[in-house]
Amino acid sequence: MIAIVDYGVGNLFSLISSLHYLGLECIVTNKKEDLIAADRIILPGVGAFGDAIAKLDETGLVNTIKKLAGIKPLLGICLGMQLLFEKSFEFGEHEGLGLIPGKIVPLKADTDSCLKIPHMGWNRLEIVKDDPIFKYFSNGEWVYYVHSYYAKYCRENILGISEYGVMVPGLVRAGLVYGAQFHPEKSGDAGLRLLKAFAEV
Protein backbone atom coordinates (compact mmCIF):
# COMPACT_ATOMS: atom_id res chain seq x y z
CA MET A 1 0.00 0.00 0.00
CA ILE A 2 1.22 3.49 -0.90
CA ALA A 3 0.50 6.37 1.47
CA ILE A 4 0.13 9.79 -0.18
CA VAL A 5 0.88 12.51 2.36
CA ASP A 6 -2.00 14.98 2.59
CA TYR A 7 -0.88 18.34 3.98
CA GLY A 8 -3.16 20.64 2.02
CA VAL A 9 -1.02 21.48 -1.02
CA GLY A 10 -2.03 20.40 -4.49
CA ASN A 11 -4.67 18.51 -6.39
CA LEU A 12 -4.08 14.79 -5.88
CA PHE A 13 -6.67 13.53 -8.37
CA SER A 14 -4.20 12.78 -11.20
CA LEU A 15 -1.82 10.97 -8.87
CA ILE A 16 -4.54 8.86 -7.29
CA SER A 17 -5.99 8.07 -10.73
CA SER A 18 -2.56 7.01 -12.03
CA LEU A 19 -1.93 4.66 -9.11
CA HIS A 20 -5.40 3.15 -9.43
CA TYR A 21 -4.87 2.68 -13.17
CA LEU A 22 -1.74 0.69 -12.34
CA GLY A 23 -3.74 -1.44 -9.91
CA LEU A 24 -1.84 -0.05 -6.91
CA GLU A 25 -3.53 0.38 -3.55
CA CYS A 26 -3.14 3.86 -2.11
CA ILE A 27 -4.45 6.03 0.68
CA VAL A 28 -4.42 9.82 1.08
CA THR A 29 -3.61 10.56 4.70
CA ASN A 30 -2.17 12.91 7.30
CA LYS A 31 -2.03 10.23 10.00
CA LYS A 32 1.23 8.92 11.42
CA GLU A 33 -0.10 5.38 11.78
CA ASP A 34 -0.99 5.21 8.09
CA LEU A 35 2.54 6.18 7.06
CA ILE A 36 3.99 3.58 9.41
CA ALA A 37 1.69 0.89 8.00
CA ALA A 38 2.37 1.77 4.36
CA ASP A 39 4.90 0.00 2.16
CA ARG A 40 5.84 3.21 0.37
CA ILE A 41 5.23 6.93 0.76
CA ILE A 42 4.63 9.67 -1.82
CA LEU A 43 5.08 13.33 -0.88
CA PRO A 44 3.32 15.48 -3.51
CA GLY A 45 3.12 19.26 -3.64
CA VAL A 46 2.51 22.39 -5.66
CA GLY A 47 2.92 26.02 -4.68
CA ALA A 48 5.55 27.83 -2.64
CA PHE A 49 8.21 26.08 -0.57
CA GLY A 50 7.79 28.17 2.58
CA ASP A 51 4.03 27.66 2.80
CA ALA A 52 4.36 23.95 2.03
CA ILE A 53 7.02 23.19 4.65
CA ALA A 54 4.99 25.13 7.23
CA LYS A 55 1.84 23.15 6.42
CA LEU A 56 3.76 19.89 6.51
CA ASP A 57 5.16 20.86 9.91
CA GLU A 58 1.64 21.58 11.16
CA THR A 59 0.64 17.97 10.46
CA GLY A 60 3.20 16.75 12.98
CA LEU A 61 4.50 14.27 10.39
CA VAL A 62 7.95 15.72 9.73
CA ASN A 63 9.82 13.54 12.21
CA THR A 64 7.84 10.48 11.12
CA ILE A 65 8.69 11.09 7.47
CA LYS A 66 12.37 11.57 8.29
CA LYS A 67 12.45 8.35 10.30
CA LEU A 68 10.56 6.27 7.74
CA ALA A 69 12.66 7.60 4.85
CA GLY A 70 15.49 5.40 6.05
CA ILE A 71 13.47 2.19 6.05
CA LYS A 72 10.93 2.39 3.22
CA PRO A 73 10.87 3.98 -0.26
CA LEU A 74 9.75 7.60 -0.41
CA LEU A 75 9.02 9.59 -3.58
CA GLY A 76 8.73 13.38 -3.58
CA ILE A 77 7.01 14.90 -6.62
CA CYS A 78 7.55 18.48 -7.89
CA LEU A 79 7.41 20.72 -4.79
CA GLY A 80 7.37 17.51 -2.76
CA MET A 81 10.77 16.71 -4.26
CA GLN A 82 12.10 20.16 -3.39
CA LEU A 83 11.02 19.74 0.24
CA LEU A 84 13.38 16.76 0.48
CA PHE A 85 16.42 19.03 0.14
CA GLU A 86 18.31 20.92 2.82
CA LYS A 87 17.24 24.45 2.00
CA SER A 88 15.23 26.59 -0.43
CA PHE A 89 15.69 30.20 -1.49
CA GLU A 90 12.14 30.67 -2.77
CA PHE A 91 10.79 33.97 -1.38
CA GLY A 92 13.33 33.98 1.41
CA GLU A 93 15.36 31.20 2.99
CA HIS A 94 13.64 28.07 4.30
CA GLU A 95 14.88 24.85 5.86
CA GLY A 96 13.83 21.66 4.11
CA LEU A 97 13.65 18.06 5.33
CA GLY A 98 17.36 17.52 4.69
CA LEU A 99 16.91 14.03 3.25
CA ILE A 100 18.88 14.86 0.08
CA PRO A 101 21.99 17.12 0.02
CA GLY A 102 21.56 20.32 -1.97
CA LYS A 103 19.61 23.55 -2.26
CA ILE A 104 16.57 24.79 -4.19
CA VAL A 105 17.34 27.92 -6.21
CA PRO A 106 15.56 30.06 -8.84
CA LEU A 107 15.76 28.90 -12.45
CA LYS A 108 15.63 32.51 -13.61
CA ALA A 109 19.03 33.28 -12.11
CA ASP A 110 20.76 30.50 -14.07
CA THR A 111 18.93 30.43 -17.42
CA ASP A 112 18.83 32.62 -20.51
CA SER A 113 16.49 35.58 -20.14
CA CYS A 114 14.57 34.56 -23.29
CA LEU A 115 13.36 31.34 -21.66
CA LYS A 116 9.95 31.46 -20.04
CA ILE A 117 9.73 30.93 -16.31
CA PRO A 118 8.06 28.86 -14.98
CA HIS A 119 9.48 26.02 -17.00
CA MET A 120 6.22 24.43 -18.10
CA GLY A 121 5.90 21.65 -20.63
CA TRP A 122 7.46 18.50 -21.98
CA ASN A 123 11.19 17.74 -21.88
CA ARG A 124 13.28 14.67 -22.51
CA LEU A 125 14.71 12.99 -19.43
CA GLU A 126 18.29 11.83 -19.95
CA ILE A 127 19.36 8.99 -17.69
CA VAL A 128 22.75 9.70 -16.13
CA LYS A 129 22.85 6.89 -13.57
CA ASP A 130 21.25 3.47 -13.79
CA ASP A 131 18.64 2.74 -11.14
CA PRO A 132 15.74 0.32 -10.54
CA ILE A 133 13.26 3.18 -10.99
CA PHE A 134 14.20 3.14 -14.70
CA LYS A 135 13.21 -0.54 -14.99
CA TYR A 136 10.42 0.28 -17.47
CA PHE A 137 11.78 3.62 -18.72
CA SER A 138 13.99 4.33 -21.74
CA ASN A 139 16.57 7.09 -22.04
CA GLY A 140 15.23 10.29 -23.59
CA GLU A 141 11.53 9.75 -22.92
CA TRP A 142 9.34 12.83 -22.47
CA VAL A 143 8.15 14.00 -19.05
CA TYR A 144 6.06 16.97 -17.96
CA TYR A 145 7.42 19.85 -15.87
CA VAL A 146 5.88 22.85 -14.09
CA HIS A 147 8.39 24.71 -11.88
CA SER A 148 10.28 27.97 -11.32
CA TYR A 149 12.92 26.65 -8.93
CA TYR A 150 15.26 23.69 -9.23
CA ALA A 151 17.71 21.60 -7.24
CA LYS A 152 21.39 22.52 -7.25
CA TYR A 153 24.59 21.24 -5.59
CA CYS A 154 23.30 17.66 -5.70
CA ARG A 155 25.39 16.09 -8.49
CA GLU A 156 26.11 12.85 -6.60
CA ASN A 157 22.39 12.17 -6.22
CA ILE A 158 21.19 12.86 -9.77
CA LEU A 159 19.65 9.97 -11.72
CA GLY A 160 18.19 11.90 -14.66
CA ILE A 161 18.41 15.41 -16.12
CA SER A 162 16.49 17.63 -18.54
CA GLU A 163 17.91 20.66 -20.34
CA TYR A 164 16.20 24.03 -19.96
CA GLY A 165 18.94 26.59 -20.34
CA VAL A 166 20.58 24.73 -17.48
CA MET A 167 20.70 21.03 -16.65
CA VAL A 168 17.70 20.48 -14.40
CA PRO A 169 17.90 17.48 -12.06
CA GLY A 170 14.70 15.72 -13.07
CA LEU A 171 15.10 12.63 -10.93
CA VAL A 172 17.27 12.27 -7.83
CA ARG A 173 17.92 9.64 -5.19
CA ALA A 174 19.55 9.38 -1.75
CA GLY A 175 19.20 5.92 -0.22
CA LEU A 176 15.52 4.99 -0.34
CA VAL A 177 14.48 8.59 -0.99
CA TYR A 178 13.57 9.51 -4.58
CA GLY A 179 12.59 12.90 -5.96
CA ALA A 180 10.99 13.76 -9.32
CA GLN A 181 10.98 17.44 -10.33
CA PHE A 182 8.56 16.58 -13.14
CA HIS A 183 5.07 15.14 -12.63
CA PRO A 184 5.03 11.37 -13.33
CA GLU A 185 1.25 11.38 -12.96
CA LYS A 186 1.00 13.92 -15.82
CA SER A 187 3.70 12.38 -18.02
CA GLY A 188 1.58 9.87 -19.90
CA ASP A 189 2.70 6.28 -20.32
CA ALA A 190 6.33 7.08 -19.43
CA GLY A 191 5.26 8.53 -16.10
CA LEU A 192 3.03 5.57 -15.37
CA ARG A 193 5.97 3.24 -15.94
CA LEU A 194 8.11 5.22 -13.50
CA LEU A 195 5.37 4.99 -10.86
CA LYS A 196 5.09 1.26 -11.52
CA ALA A 197 8.83 0.85 -11.00
CA PHE A 198 8.70 2.91 -7.79
CA ALA A 199 6.06 0.52 -6.48
CA GLU A 200 8.54 -2.31 -7.01
CA VAL A 201 11.77 -0.84 -5.57
Taking a C-beta distance cutoff of 8 angstroms, is the pair 134, 170 a contact? Answer: no
The three-state (H, E, C) secondary structure of the chain, written as one string:
CEEEECCCCCCCHHHHHHHHHCCCCEEEECCHHHHHHCCEEEECCCCCHHHHHHHHHHCCCHHHHHHHCCCCCEEEECHHHHHCEEEECCCCCEECCCCEEEEEEECCCCCCCCCCCCEEEEEEEEECCCCHHHCCCCCCEEEEEEECEEEECCHHHEEEEEECCCEEEEEEEECCEEEECCCHHHCHHHHHHHHHHHCCC
Q: Is 26 a catalytic residue?
A: no
Closest to 14 (Cα-Cα) out of 105, 146, 111: 146
> Distance between CA atoms of 116 and 164, rounded to whole angstroms?
10
Q: Is 94 a catalytic residue?
A: no
The one catalytic residue in 26, 58, 78, 126 is: 78
The one catalytic residue in 86, 163, 183, 200 is: 183
The residues annotated with a catalytic role in the active site are 78, 183, 185
